[in-house]
Structure 1
Amino acid sequence: MSGLPAEQDTLPPYHGIALADVRLVKTAADAAEAQAALLAADAIGFDTESKPTFVKGQSSDGPHLVQFADDRHAWLFPLGGDHAHLLPALKAVLESEGTLKVGFGLSDDMKRVRSKLGIEPVRVADLSVVLRVPGQKHDLGAKSAVAKYFGQALQKSKKISTTNWAMPRLSEKQMLYAADDAQVALRIYRHWIALGNVLPALKPPKAPKPRQPRSPAPSA
């Protein structure tokens, strides 16, 4: 299997979420339903997708999709167009102290969420860091984690990952790719905890920068 170490080539494939269990959040009512389900969970999978940039020096204006998953379903929040009606639910979930958010390689995702959405996520665990063991030089990615803990091969298509995530309508392949990104993290976390591991204390969220007082306007 391309992109996987030779010893993983013969592993059976990882079977991810079914399309019937993926919810595309379009309306405020959809968002409210997703919010209620996600906040009822003790932990959820979390990730984002952004439209790729192909010009040197060009910065991404993502995220264009935010995805969450509980143990049964995934919810996809598209942010490519008008998404103001989705922000209250996103803010409620990401800023919830009662629901743990887990994912792989979340550093850039967090920066983009702060920059574009003005949301400061709390109780977020980056499994790429959490799952590292003494002597391990590199962070553990989702592929390696699935091979290590499940004995299976996670297929992540480069072709799908570099598609336009800002499109008004996502393809079924895009939806499954995004949903799996969120849910596989939660599945790995559940398995890791079941093995008797304990999540280390999470860093507190960044404190907002104090606003500088405005200088008084010059008198006429």
Structure 2
Amino acid sequence: MSSAPDEVPLPPYAGITLASVRLVRTEHDAAEALAALSAMDVIGFDTESKPTFLKGEVSTGPHLIQLATDDMAYLFQIGGGGGAPAMLKTVLESHTILKVGFGLSDDLKRLSAKLGIDTRNVLDLSTALRKGERNTLGAKTAVARFFGQKLQKSKKITTTNWAMARLSEKQILYAADDAHVALRIYRRWRLDVPAA
């Protein structure tokens, strides 16, 4: 028995490659990231925090901040020095660079509470892309809608310890993709929006 056309599985979303990801570890790395990010009109944005499992446990995140240009993702581990917080404040508080991502309300609260960063000029795609639907839209649904592909989101990676000094390759790619895919979706969405 053949499956109906709407049941055909979507091809996987390829995502960003390790060669296009930079872990910002030094002042030099931070300066390079600042130059690249400051040249953008829009950047992809997300954060990761070590999960909390106990009732009443308060998150100490964010532990990782991800920012993406069209062809590069920059990952900033929080707590490791390297000039990242000052550079992050410059980019995230910029009025001229639009920051786009999915489900950003917790990210913004944690950035403010932990790092004193008051993120400005932010567009949460979860609500911006809704098209009248009641529920917010996630990255997986947006990738299916705009690219006809399936974004793999591993629960196992999502709930890993993002505070570790050394992140695994899977964590790095997962985190980079979160920021990069948001920018790609934003660009595609803007192409589809008729000019006023």
TM-score (norm 2): 0.93
CA deviation string 1:118-158 (max 9, x = no partner): 01011100000101112x11001000000111110000110
Alignment of 1:34-183 (within 5 A): 34-79=33-78, 81-83=79-81, 85-134=83-132, 136-183=133-180
Tell me what 2:188 maps to: 191
Tell me what 2:14 maps to: 15
Asked whether the 8 Å contact 1:45–1:183 carries over to 2, the reply is yes
After TM superposition, give the deviation of residue 8 of structure 1 in Å: 6.8
Distance in 1, Cα, partners of 2:119 & 2:11 = 35
Query: Aligned pair count?
Result: 190
After TM superposition, give the deviation of residue 9 of structure 1 in Å: 6.6
Structure 1 stretches lacking a partner, 5+ long = 1-6, 199-220
CA RMSD of aligned residues (A): 1.3
Distance 1:129 1:8, change over 3 A: farther
4+ aligned runs moved over 4 Å, structure 1: none
Where 1:148 maps in the other structure, the secondary structure is helix
After TM superposition, give the deviation of residue 88 of structure 1 in Å: 1.1
Asked whether the 8 Å contact 1:8–1:147 carries over to 2, the reply is no
TM-score (norm 1): 0.83
After TM superposition, give the deviation of residue 86 of structure 1 in Å: 1.3
Q: State, as a whole percentage, how many aligned pairs show the same letter.
A: 63
Distance in 2, Cα, partners of 1:192 & 1:138 = 18
Distance in 1, Cα, partners of 2:80 & 2:172 = 19
After TM superposition, give the deviation of residue 197 of structure 1 in Å: 5.1
Distance in 2, Cα, partners of 1:28 & 1:19 = 21
Asked whether the 8 Å contact 2:27–2:82 carries over to 1, the reply is no
Residue 30 of structure 1 aligns to which amino acid in structure 2? D
Structure 2 stretches lacking a partner, 5+ long = 1-5
After TM superposition, give the deviation of residue 171 of structure 1 in Å: 0.7
After TM superposition, give the deviation of residue 84 of structure 1 in Å: 6.9
Where 1:20 maps in the other structure, the secondary structure is helix
Distance in 1, Cα, partners of 2:8 & 2:86 = 43
Distance in 2, Cα, partners of 1:82 & 1:70 = 23
Larger Rg: 1
